[in-house]
């Protein structure tokens, strides 16, 4: 059961059925209420008409015995005097409730039936008044052995000869009860059938609508089982949410495939880069173990330093790929560059500076790695001069490192920022790095919300421009 209602199709069908059921219940109740009110109003009208017909005869001074009363099975009638005694009643009336008295046979009247002395019949004519308002009650009556429910209208009549009288006349509720019963029966039969149709149609429509989801699910399961990220889920020819889901899923798979492929290349390149210094160091140590006088200590130290630097680069890249936050320390680029340059002792060419105060927010350690990588790259390619400048440009702080070397061809200016990429003139193990410095520098710039690009320096060499947002623009 839990598996069934874990289905979107089942939940949609159940939800639609519940909504329709509530709507049908509300509509059915409204229909029954309206039907009952309408038919009850008709019964009130019949009862009122019958009561006023009898009341008009009383106002005309007709004796009780000569009253023309409706048949009891149509409209049972009672005439009750001001003392609450039954003065006249419909023929064959056997039982009544809901009126002024439950008596069914008239007793001795409080006044003479005709209102004159010595039994003289009064002259016809209007001698009273009929109340315009009638009161209605529910009741029942048995007439000639047939029982039924009625709406009774009570009409007040004032006469000179008979005094104050109340005429009770009933309107049968049989039609109302029959109509309501028929409507209720129809609803009890029709509503479940309608609910079944709604549930069936919703089930089929939902199954058809969710068929692409089943295809997407099956393909994703196959991709998971095969680990083949080159596969894609089918995209339906629609413009709905499912089509957008399929497109988004394929975009995610593409990004995941790119990331995994990039990770594979990274591991392969890292293994390749580590193999050379490790092999060189091992060879020197083995030769030194066999012939201590031939041990190249300086070469072993250089290989160890290369291993240390490469391991540090790989560790930093791993932290950057994991989304390490750069922090929010305030750094003045001018003072920062002076301090970093003062600690460099192995530069091949002189470094010239043109430093203006420009403040940024971020990780001082990561920014130091960026500056060091840019300077190392410039030192490898410069002929006689490296220049470092800092300045502000609107909402940006700018750091530039340029050299007077051969520069970077326009077609290679983006490729040099890829990991483990070295241009042909920098591929020697002695002079070229592992191809991670510029990649690290750009990643750090991006983590700080900035950019790193390369262009042509005034001297014809390469000019690397690092742009970082100032703390004011970051706060805004």
pTM: 0.51
**For the chain, what percent of residues have pLDDT higher than 90?**
25
* Rounded Cα–Cα distance for residues 25 and 32 (Å): 10
Half-sphere exposure of 334 (CA within 13 A, CB side): 8
* DSSP of 286-334: HHHHH-GGG--HHHHHHHHHHHHHHHHHHHHHHHHHTT-----EEEEHH
Domain range 325-475, CATH architecture: 2-Layer Sandwich (3.30)
Query: Which strands sit side by side in the sheet containing 93-97, from one edge to the other?
Result: 86-89, 77-81, 163-172, 146-159, 128-143, 93-97
The CA distance from 95 to 75, in Å, is 13
pLDDT the model gives residue 382: 92
Q: Is the pLDDT of residue 405 over 80?
A: yes
Burial environment of residue 29 by CB neighbours within 10 A (0 to 12, 13 to 18, 19 or more): exposed
pLDDT given at position 159: 87
Question: What is the DSSP secondary-structure string of 106-172?
Answer: ----SS-SSSSSTTPPPPPS--EEEEEEEEEEEEEEEETTEEEEEEEEEEEEEETTTEEEEEEEEEE
Owner of token pair 């160091």: 281
Cα torsion 370, 376, 381, 387 to 10°: value is 70
Q: Which two tokens stand for residue 351?
A: 């470094």
Residue identified by tokens 């046979």 is: 105
CA 296, CA 291: separation in Å to the nearest integer? 11
Q: Over range 325-352, report the average pLDDT.
A: 89
Would you state the pLDDT for residue 119?
44
Distance (Å) of CA 255 to CA 229, 335, 419: 10, 40, 18
**Mean pLDDT across the stretch 364-380?**
91
Domain range annotation of the chain: 1-115+126-228, 241-307, 325-475
Confidence band for 73, pLDDT divided at 50, 70 and 90: low
| Percent of the chain at pLDDT exceeding 70 | 90
Q: Specify the residue for token string 């031939």.
A: 294
Residues 293-300 have a mean pLDDT of: 75
Query: Is beta strand 386-393 parallel, antiparallel or unpaired with respect to 351-355?
Result: parallel
Q: Which residue has the tokens 């042509």?
A: 456
Q: Does the structure show a pLDDT above 50 at 465?
A: yes
> Residue 347 and residue 387: Cα distance in Å, rounded?
13
- Of the two residues 56 and 125, the one the predictor is more confident about is 56
DSSP code of residue 227: T
Q: How many CB atoms lie within 10 A of CB 250?
A: 17
Confidence category of residue 429, pLDDT binned at 50, 70, 90:
very low
Q: What are the pLDDT digits (tens) for 191-202?
A: 899 888 888 888
Query: Is the pLDDT confidence value at 110 over 70?
Result: no
What are φ and ψ of residue 394, in 5° steps? 70, -120
Q: Quick check: 9 and 207 in contact, CB under 8 A?
A: yes
pLDDT of residue 115: 44
Burial class of residue 191 (count of CB atoms within 10 Å of its CB; 0-12, 13-18, 19+): middle
Under the banding of pLDDT at 50, 70 and 90, the label for residue 237 is confident
Going by pLDDT thresholds of 50, 70 and 90, the confidence category of residue 304 is confident
Q: For residue range 158-214, list pLDDT tens digits in order.
A: 988 888 999 999 988 888 888 888 988 988 898 899 888 888 888 888 888 778 888
Secondary structure letter of residue 420 according to DSSP? T
- Structure tokens belonging to residue 461: 């060499």
Per residue in 376-408, is it b (16+ CB within 10 Å) or e — as a string? Answer: bbbbbbbeebbbbbbbeeeebbbbbbbbbbebb
Burial class (CB in 10 A: 0-12, 13-18, 19+), 341: middle
Class of domain 241-307: mainly alpha
Residue of 353, 365, 291 whose CA lies nearest to 327 = 365
Sign of CA dihedral 467, 471, 472, 475: positive
For range 130-156, the mean pLDDT = 90
C-beta separation of 422 from 433 below 8 A: yes
Tokens 């000019």 correspond to 463
Res 300 pLDDT > 70: yes
Q: Per-residue confidence at 434, pLDDT binned at 50, 70, 90?
A: low
- Report helix angle 174-226 to 241-290, nearest 10: 20
Helix (H) / strand (E) containing 152 = strand 146-159
Contacts of 340 (CB under 8 A, 6+ apart): 368, 371, 372
* Residue 110: DSSP 8-state: S
Three-state SS sequence of 33-83: HHHHHHHHHHHHHHHHHHHHHHHHHHHCCCCHHHCCCCCCCCCCEEEEECC
Selected residue with higher pLDDT from 249 and 122: 249
Assign 171 to helix, strand or coil. strand
Q: In this predicted structure, what is the pLDDT of residue 384?
A: 92
Q: Which residues pair with 157 in a beta bridge?
A: 130, 165
What's the chain's average pLDDT? 83
The reported pLDDT for the residue numbered 386 is 94
d(CA 394, CA 283): 55
Span 89-102, average pLDDT: 88
């Amino acid at each position: 059961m839990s598996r069934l209602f874990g289905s979107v199709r089942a939940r949609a069908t159940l939800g639609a059925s519940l909504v329709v059921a509530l709507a049908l219940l509300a509509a059915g109740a409204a229909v029954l209420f309206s039907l009952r009110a309408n038919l009850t109003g008709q019964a009130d009208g019949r009862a009122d008409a019958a009561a006023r017909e009898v009341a008009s005869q009383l106002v005309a001074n007709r004796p009780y015995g000569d009253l023309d009363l409706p048949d009891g099975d149509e409209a049972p009638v009672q005439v009750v005097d001001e003392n609450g005694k039954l003065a006249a009643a419909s023929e064959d009336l056997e039982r009544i409730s809901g009126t002024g008295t439950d008596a069914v046979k008239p007793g001795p009247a409080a006044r003479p039936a005709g209102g004159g002395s010595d039994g003289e019949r009064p002259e016809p004519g209007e001698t009273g008044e009929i109340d315009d308002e009638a009161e209605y009650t529910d009741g029942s009556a048995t007439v000639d052995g047939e029982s039924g429910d009625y709406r009774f209208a009570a009409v007040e009549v004032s006469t000179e000869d008979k005094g104050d009288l109340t005429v009770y006349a009933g309107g049968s509720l049989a039609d109302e009860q029959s109509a309501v019963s028929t409507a209720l029966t129809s609803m009890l039969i029709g509503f479940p059938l309608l609910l079944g149709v709604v549930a069936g149609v919703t089930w089929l429509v939902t199954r058809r609508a969710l068929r692409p989801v089943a295809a997407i699910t099956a393909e994703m399961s196959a991709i998971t089982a095969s680990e083949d990220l080159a596969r894609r889920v089918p995209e339906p020819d629609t413009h709905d949410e499912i089509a957008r889901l399929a497109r988004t899923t394929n975009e995610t798979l593409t990004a995941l495939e790119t990331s995994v492929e990039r990770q594979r290349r990274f591991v392969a390149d890292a293994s390749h880069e580590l193999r050379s210094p490790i092999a060189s160091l091992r060879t020197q140590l083995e030769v030194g173990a066999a012939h201590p006088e031939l041990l190249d200590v300086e070469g072993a130290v250089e290989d160890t330093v290369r291993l240390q630097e490469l391991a540090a680069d790989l560790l930093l890249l791993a932290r950057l790929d994991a989304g390490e936050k750069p922090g929010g320390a305030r750094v003045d680029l001018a003072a920062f560059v002076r301090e970093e340059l003062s600690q460099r002792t192995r530069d091949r060419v002189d470094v010239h500076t043109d430093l203006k105060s420009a403040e940024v927010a971020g990780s001082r350690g990561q920014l130091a790695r960026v500056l060091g990588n840019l300077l190392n790259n410039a030192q490898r390619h410069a002929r006689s001069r490296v220049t470092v400048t800092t300045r502000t440009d609107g909402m940006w702080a700018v750091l530039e490192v340029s050299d007077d070397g051969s520069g970077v061809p326009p077609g290679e200016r983006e490729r040099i920022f890829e990991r483990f990429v070295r241009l042909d003139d920098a591929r020697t193990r002695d002079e070229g790095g592992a191809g991670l410095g510029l990649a690290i520098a750009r990643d750090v710039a991006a983590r700080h919300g900035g950019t790193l690009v390369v262009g042509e320096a005034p001297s014809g060499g390469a000019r690397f421009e690092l742009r970082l947002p100032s703390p004011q623009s970051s706060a805004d």
